[in-house]
Amino acid sequence: MTQPFLLGVLGGMGPLATVDFLSTLLAVTPAASDQQQIPTVVWNVPQIADRQKALAGTGPSPLPQLLTGIARLNQAGASHIVIPCNTAHHWFSALSDVSRAPLIHIVEATISAVVEASPTPQRIGIIATKGTLDAGWFQHGLQQHGITPVVPDEVELETWFVPGCYAVKRGALAEGGAAFVHQAKALFERGAEKLILACTEVPVALRAVNAPFLPLTFDPAQALAERCSKIWQDHRTSYLT
């Protein structure tokens, strides 16, 4: 017998980004009733160690706490698991290795959304943590399709991205949004046609300041939600609606 569909969400990184992902999940799923929405179990525990500090060597690894979250979602019966945090995908392989439920990768979902866009941009800026940029996931994915990535430099990261990210985490969305607007403008000035908002705090903050360039962006959390919605729709016929 096929296991019933139950989406597990490994969240808390940060908690606002998790709630925003869940809202997006509802918005992108075609549903005429409550019963047609995606069944979901969420591990939204914000005490997970800071991912940016861990990768910078200034804080503990979040892996033990991430493994706990994966175990809890598996115990709850998750059939698929997502992580609405780009930087946490640094530990994706380690989490996949111990999870009964398959994990869906946010970068793969995003690159698919970029490639399916018409027309496909030739130069795309990436707003992300240093850890995500150093890993190169988005850059490599874009380059495989002949798209040139445009990334922040070290000064921009320290001046705009990092302060903006932590402003969002303390609830100062407008402050964070203003910082991210500066970062976005710098990438556009260097030739980016569109942007990948590859940190889940960024779209929330840019919406808070009504950034005019939002139509020129790709939101990985939305791409991930759309991938989940498609999988759910393939399974939904087995449920009473």
Paired tokens of 143: 């380059």
Q: What is the edge-to-edge ordering of all strands in the sheet holding 40-43? A: 40-43, 7-10, 80-82, 103-104
The Cα 227–Cα 230 span in angstroms is 5
Q: How many CA atoms lie within 13 A of 232 on its CB side?
A: 23
Instruction: Give the three-state DSSP class for 2.
Output: coil
The Cα 203–Cα 107 span in angstroms is 16
SS3 string, 92-156, reads HHHHHHHCCCCEECHHHHHHHHHHHCCCCCCEEEEECCHHHHHHCHHHHHHHCCCCEEECCCHHH
Name the CA radius of gyration of the chain, rounded.
18
> Partners of 188 in the beta sheet?
none
Which residues, including other chains, have CB under 8 Å from residue 171's CB and lie 6 or more apart? none
C-beta of residue 190 within 8 angstroms of C-beta of residue 150: yes
Among all residues, which ones are annotated catalytic?
A: 85, 199
